[in-house]
Amino acid sequence: MAAGSESRLQLIHRHIRAFPDFPNTGILFRDICPILKDPAALTAVIDLFEEHVRKNYKQVDLIVGLDARGFLFGPLLAQRLCVGFVLVRKKGKLPGATVSVAYNLEYGKAEAEIQEDAVAPGQKVLIIDDLLATGGTLYAACELMKKQQAEVLGCMVVIELKELNGFERLKPHSVFSLVKY
């Protein structure tokens, strides 16, 4: 990575706080709130995502953001790329006709949904979120895109928790992570 990219990654890394035993005992929570509070750190995140997309993808039609922290980074990136932004929400949060998919969480089940007309067949999409842990939510988003007949170019996250192997669940889709723990 170029020197400028490396210094931006260091800035991002310095703005991620760790909270032991949150929300449950034994979990080390990685908090992105300091990134959002610091304009330089937030700009660094979006700069690095933008560089990755421009270098690796000739055409992107939409950025698809996951509820809720993907909503923080996705619109900023979409604006930079001059493409649209689409929401993937928890079931029951979107008006109108929706398409949904059920998926497993570490401690239960959930459903994600998208508005039926949000993504057209054949559109090229990148999916964005703040964190990749076990991959359940990102996998559900990929499945929603499959239902919509969209082409998932890849997934992008600020933080990846490598020991949980979430990237394995997302194969064959690629995962771009800024910071790995």
Q: Could you tell me which of 103, 143, 93 has the C-alpha nearest to residue 119?
A: 143
Q: Cα(170)–Cα(84) distance, rounded to whole angstroms?
A: 23
pLDDT confidence of 73, banded at 50, 70, 90?
very high
The full set of domains in the chain, from first to last, is: 3-180 (3.40.50.2020)
State pLDDT tens for residues 17-62.
999 999 999 999 999 999 999 999 999 999 999 999 999 999 999 9
Q: Is 169's pLDDT higher than 80? A: yes
- Tokens 């995502």 correspond to 49
Burial level of 67, CB count in 10 A (0-12/13-18/19+)? Answer: middle
Residue 76: DSSP 8-state: H
- What percentage of residues in the chain have a pLDDT greater than 70? 97
Task: Say what the pTM is.
Answer: 0.95
Question: What residues act catalytically?
Answer: 69, 106
In tens, the pLDDT along 136-163 reads 999 999 999 999 999 999 999 999 999 9
pLDDT at 105 over 90: no
3-state helix, strand, coil in the chain (%, to 5): 35, 35, 30
Query: Which residues make Cβ contacts (< 8 Å) with residue 68, sequence separation at least 6?
Result: none
